[in-house]
Structure 1
Amino acid sequence: MNNTLFTSLHQQATPLLLCNVWDVASAKTAEKLGFNAIGTSSAAIASMLGYADGEHMAFEELLFIVKRIAACSELPLSVDIEAGFSDNPQITAGYIKALAEVGVVGINIEDSKVSKTNEERTLINENNFATYLAEITSQLLKDNIAIFINVRTDTFLLGIANVVEATQKRAKLYQAAGADGLFVPGIVQTEAIETVVNSTSLPVNVMCMPDLANFSTLKSLGVKRISMGNFLFDALQDDLTTRLSNIVQANSFQPMFKAIA
């Protein structure tokens, strides 16, 4: 699928509400309900496969799932590749090329890494990440791979000092390195959202959070993309727990055919 449509979805007055999926079934549901685009949730896919979040699964495992989603849905598909699955930008560019070849039109790549030893997430130095990103985008250009690169900065997610200023600095560096969009998960304060949006020409993406403003307010602030993260997947797992518990308690399958109380 050509990425032109997907790119244009980030330039509308109304923000793109991206449905985050983890398998074919969730992708088909999003398509049935009229969503304009879907994006994978790396945390949801990792959980589904029995991994912790943070590149514990192999890229090949992710690619297999992405191939099935792309083959079964007509919606524009963006894929979360976490921190790139490699410190080598040429290897990461190769992974992105493999995704593009199966029909993926966008990717998310983040500027933080999760330690394999203590599971702690830490920010990558902004200049180092910008250099890494620039090498990736340069290689993709050489390979004639057109794909929407949504760069996720975890400044707010990790609650660093002077967070707005740090986010603005990273946005400028990442745009110069070839980013097409800026994803700022964890940002919820309307003033902070407006400041970040007004400080960059990149379309800004925010993520579902308990205190996030409604979609109309986000539209008025200039947000261009709204994601669900892994919250939808987690909510469905809670529903499954409730349903299974009800079956056990009732000693009957009758609760399966009733709405969850």
Structure 2
Amino acid sequence: MTSINDKATALLQLHQPGNPVILPTVWDAWSANLAAEGGFAALTVGSHPVADSIGKPDNEGMSFEELLTRVAQITAAVDLPVSVDIESGYGQTPERLIAGLIEVGAVGLNIEDTVHSEGGRLREAQEHADFVGGLRRAADAAGVHIVVNARTDLFIKQVGDESDRVERAIARMKLAAEAGADSLYPVGFHSDEVYQRLTSELPLPVNAIADPVRGEKASYASLGVGRVSFGPLLQAALAVRANQLLARWV
């Protein structure tokens, strides 16, 4: 699989509600090779793990250029579709974001609605949809269908009253879908009831975050999820095991 368009098409087709694509969250060539050797069909690059690996804080503590440097190393190491967490966009235009990702061979992105450069405020629903739309137009202009995973932080930031949070998240993500997203990411750990609402009421595949130690693919499949990623939890789980090994030698 050498064509970037082939990889983009393959990544998009892997998003199947009820048969979710599992995208191990990687941060360097070593972790990418580990996941590829495990037989996974595609990968996602996590901003938090990458930032940790280069000694920078999460929430856009590293630059977009630093992220691209690491993504280029990953795409050079594995011949798989790679999506990239671009946080809230690092203050870059949609055109620059898409151009940078294509330059390093990435075919997907995760865009969140928390604007780290502006005090961590949450973009308004239409504002976020407009940014998603800008990314879609830029990708179309570049001739590559970059798979856009539109994320909302309503749940993890506990924005507004809990009684209507699910409804507000659904409304927000529907706007992102209309703007050109390919999948929707209401990040957070939810009850089965909430997942069933999200997967039944949203028009696109839903991305769930999973704990790689305790979670199971079958449970997410039964809830209609179309995509599963690990956020920083895979790196954290490996750190726990590494500490156990190293403790024997202190």
| TM-score, normalised via structure 1 length | 0.86
1:150 partnered with 2:149: yes
Distance 1:135 1:41 in 2: 22
Distance 2:77 2:197 in 1: 39
Q: Which runs of 5+ in 2 are unaligned?
A: none
SS at match of 1:28: helix
Give the aligned partner of residue 18 of structure 1: 23
Distance 1:68 1:47 in 2: 16
Give the aligned partner of residue 36 of structure 1: 41
SS at match of 2:148: strand
Deviation track 1:95-125 (CA, whole Å, cap 9, x = no partner) reads 22221233211111101133687xxx44221
Q: Which runs of 5+ in 1 are unaligned?
A: 249-261
Verify the 8 A CA contact 2:17 2:205 in the aligned structure 1.
Answer: no
Q: How far did 1:157 drift?
A: 1.5
Distance 2:213 2:36 in 1: 27
Q: Report the CA distance shift for 1:43/1:124 in structure 2 as closer, same or farther (over 3 A).
A: same
Q: How far did 1:27 drift?
A: 0.5
1:81 partnered with 2:89: no
Residue type at the aligned position of 1:154: D
Distance 1:212 1:173 in 2: 33
Verify the 8 A CA contact 2:213 2:237 in the aligned structure 1.
Answer: no
Q: Report the CA distance shift for 1:34/1:242 in structure 2 as closer, same or farther (over 3 A).
A: same
Distance 2:117 2:174 in 1: 27
What's the RMSD between the two structures over aligned residues? 2.1
SS at match of 2:249: helix
Residue type at the aligned position of 1:6: L
Moved over 4 A (4+): 209-213
Q: Report the CA distance shift for 1:144/1:166 in structure 2 as closer, same or farther (over 3 A).
A: same
Distance 2:215 2:243 in 1: 29
Verify the 8 A CA contact 1:188 1:209 in the aligned structure 2.
Answer: no
Residues paired across the two proteins, number:
242
Q: Report the CA distance shift for 1:122/1:242 in structure 2 as closer, same or farther (over 3 A).
A: farther
SS at match of 2:248: helix
SS at match of 1:84: coil
Give the aligned partner of residue 243 of structure 2: 241
Give the aligned partner of residue 256 of structure 1: none
Residue type at the aligned position of 1:199: E
Verify the 8 A CA contact 1:36 1:76 in the aligned structure 2.
Answer: yes
Q: Which has the larger radius of gyration?
A: 1
| TM-score, normalised via structure 2 length | 0.89
Verify the 8 A CA contact 2:94 2:134 in the aligned structure 1.
Answer: no
Report which structure shows greater RCO (CA 8 Å, sep ≥6).
2
SS at match of 1:247: coil
Give the aligned partner of residue 135 of structure 2: 136
Q: How far did 1:210 drift?
A: 9.2
- Identity among equivalent pairs (%): 36
Give the aligned partner of residue 52 of structure 1: 57
SS at match of 1:11: coil
SS at match of 1:186: coil
Deviation track 1:192-237 (CA, whole Å, cap 9, x = no partner) reads 0010111112110000259986322221221011111111111222
Give the aligned partner of residue 168 of structure 1: 170
Q: How far did 1:139 drift?
A: 2.7
